[in-house]
Amino acid sequence: MSFLNYSTIIDPFLRDVRIFVPKFAGMKAGDRVLDVCCGSGDQVFYYDKLGVLAFGIDSDANMIGLAKKDRRNGSAKNVSFRLVDARKLPFEDNFFDFVSISLALHEKEREAQSKIISEMKRVVKKEGALVFVDFKIPFHDKISYFFIRSIEYLAGKQHFSCFKDYVLQGGLQELLAENGLKETRTALLKNGNLAAIKVKPQSLF
């Protein structure tokens, strides 16, 4: 899916999710927050509205370019975007109060998923939290499943292959459990088709 379609179609559709995530996580002014695989940077700008020190990283140069050119950058006071591979974050251990990732893990192969989650665990503070948003498996109904499956198919062969494997894995909750994470708070969004999960580092298995 092109970065143009993402910023003009996907971001507006996810506006309610972007607003919900920082409140759900419990973020407050002055917190240092990293959004992994930030895409167009839309979630990062919503963090900035709360006075959060917000960082966004992505491995797609087009997406990072789009985020840096966003007109909101003119009024955003505490945002920073960097071209970074999420499997190897250039940050110190225990650096962030919160680390989030939204609708990206289903796009990754299993090895990459595990590396990304491991890095998120490494850079979050012990008293902080990880926040994950992705598809809830099984989907709420067959109509939702076929619609989302069609969108994922249009995103490309590799993307679709990862999506199908994500469904076979059992979705976000199973993926987190496989990587030693135990959810401490969960909310269902978009008619139950998305799951938002908060994990406190103290709850690691």
Structure tokens at 105: 């893990």
Give me the domain span that covers residue 67.
3-203
Average pLDDT, the chain: 92
Phi, psi of 80 (to 5 degrees): -150, 135
What's the pLDDT score for residue 110?
96
Task: Please state the domain count of the chain.
Answer: 1
For residue 59, give the CATH number of its domain: 3.40.50.150
Extract the residue ranges of the chain whose pLDDT is less than 50.
1-4, 205
What's the pLDDT score for residue 106?
97
